[in-house]
Amino acid sequence: MADVLFFIAGIGAISGAIGVIAARNPFYSVLALVFHLLSLAALFLLLRAQFVAAAQVVVYAGAVMVLYVFVVAYVGDQERPLYAPTSNLGAVGVLFTGALAVEAVGAVILARRRRGIDTEADERRTLSVGDLFRRPPGIGTRAESVGTRPGGREEAAVGAKSADRDLGGW
């Protein structure tokens, strides 16, 4: 159930974000951002951050977005095309963003695949692309997120903590 809700809210958040930059009219961008913020509030609820979720809805979607709507209505739509190149820098921007996406998501995946640092020899061992193709050692614990070696002292402490706090999920 939590997994289904996560995917619904996550896809909603990402599609809302894409809608912000894809809409031609700034007014629709603001509406897409409101949808994005509500999806993000659902994600915060899944992370058990109830107060942050409530503040997100009340402060962001309630107050800040109303300010945006008023300013967009005041300044007005400029009727500009989605992409009208005045220079070649737009393509460079898209290129840099693609590189950033590859780097950021790759960093998350690499951190999941890394097997952790316990000894000094591990500290000398650097992160490599080959780690992408190895299986992650621990499932459902903090080790899965940050990559602690199973059986290490960190893992034992975290395992004991996650048992009584239910860190792994719902």
Interface contacts to other proteins, rule CB under 8 A: 2-3, 6, 10, 13-14, 17-18, 20-21, 26, 29-30, 33, 36-37, 40, 43-44, 46-49, 51-52, 55-56, 59-60, 63-64, 67-68, 71-72, 74-75, 78, 80, 83, 86-87, 90, 93-94, 96-97, 100-101, 104-105, 107-109, 111-112, 140, 142, 144-146, 161-162, 165, 167-169
HSE value, Cβ hemisphere, 13 Å, CA-based, for 7: 3
Shortest distance, position 125 Cβ to other proteins, whole Å:
21
CB of 121 to other proteins, least distance (A): 25
CA distance 54 to 41: 7
Rounded distance between C-alpha atoms, residue 157 and residue 149, angstroms: 12
Q: What is the DSSP letter of 64?
A: I
| Interatomic CA distance for residues 14 and 35, integer angstroms | 10
Judged by beta carbon, residue 112 or residue 152, the one nearer other proteins is 112
User: What angle (nearest 5°) sits at the alpha carbon of residue 100, between those of residues 98 and 106?
Assistant: 100
Question: In angstroms, rounded to a whole number, what is the distance separating the alpha carbons of residues 2 and 46?
Answer: 7
* Residue 118 beta carbon to other proteins: minimum distance, rounded to whole angstroms: 19
Shorter beta-carbon distance to other proteins: residue 58 or 119 = 58
Which C-beta is closer to other proteins: that of 101 or that of 125? 101
- Are 149 and 155 in contact by the 8 Å Cβ rule? The answer is yes
Least distance (Å) between residue 130 CB and other proteins:
19
C-alpha 126/C-alpha 118 separation (Å) is 13
CB of 73 to other proteins, least distance (A): 11
